[in-house]
Amino acid sequence: MTGICLFLSFLLVLFFVHEHFTVSINSKKRSSGSFFSSMPNKQIILGMFLTTMIIQASNNSIEPIFGRLGDRWGTHWILLGGLIFSILVFIPMAFVQNVWELGGLRLLIGISDAALIPSVQTILAKTSPHRIMGEVFSWNQSFQAVGNVVGPQIGSTVTSFLGYRGVFLSTAFLVLINLFSVFKQTKSFYQ
């Protein structure tokens, strides 16, 4: 799927993007160190790079807690609980009155994500044949990338028809459909 999207993007660029670029003869090749020295707002940009790293690290820092709970109670129960929790958080997001309420609920979604991502990976590891595990995880990464592309497209489409509140409600509905699907898929394996 990712390959198809990338190939379609390539074709769109190949046939529809026409640049009129001329190389300056007087331009000097710059070293990699000059990237930061020529940057006008380097403190802000470096700060944002570090902020991105800290956001990812903090989102992933509580994943081992849910991993341990998954070992104790069963990974599929943690996955189902994380999906239910995310539905219960997305619904009130549609009715927030200020940015602080939205921020608090987004924090709770981060907790839900910390339960979901390692649970999916653990279930993949438990159910995949060892000889193709690398390929399975590669496909999983591809589907994660597709989600990163499709999510904003769905969100912008829903927003144009139903407004911002509709995004949260439709996301809750999408997760609900996924919850039923995961329950059905894992039910036979874990009985």
- The H or E element spanning position 161 is helix 133-189
Q: Model confidence over 109-144: pLDDT tens digits?
A: 988 888 888 888 888 888 888 888 888 888 888 888
The per-residue pLDDT for 33 is 60
The per-residue pLDDT for 142 is 84
Helix axes 133-189, 2-16, angle to 10 degrees: 130
The per-residue pLDDT for 47 is 67
Whole-number Å distance between alpha carbons of 144 and 155: 16
Amino acid found at 166: G
The per-residue pLDDT for 134 is 82
Tell me how many degrees the CA angle 101-103-105 measures, rounded to the nearest 5: 70
The set of residues, in sequence order, having a beta carbon less than 8 Å from that of 87 and lying 6+ positions away, is: 172, 175, 176, 179
The per-residue pLDDT for 171 is 93
Whole-number Å distance between alpha carbons of 51 and 73: 34
The per-residue pLDDT for 98 is 94
Q: Is the pLDDT of residue 44 over 60?
A: yes
CB 155 within 8 A of CB 167: yes
Q: How many residues does the chain have?
A: 191
Three-class SS string for 68-86? Answer: HHHHHHCHHHHHHHHHHHH
The per-residue pLDDT for 85 is 95
Domain extent listing, the chain: 63-191
- For all residues of the chain together, what is the average pLDDT? 80
pLDDT: is 31 or 9 the higher one? 9
Would you state the structure tokens that stand for residue 113, as one six-digit string? 């994500």
**Which top CATH class is 63-191?**
mainly alpha
Report CA-CA distances (Å) from 11 to 6, 21, 147: 9, 20, 21
Q: Model confidence over 45-96: pLDDT tens digits?
A: 666 666 666 766 666 666 777 778 878 888 888 889 999 999 999 999 999 9
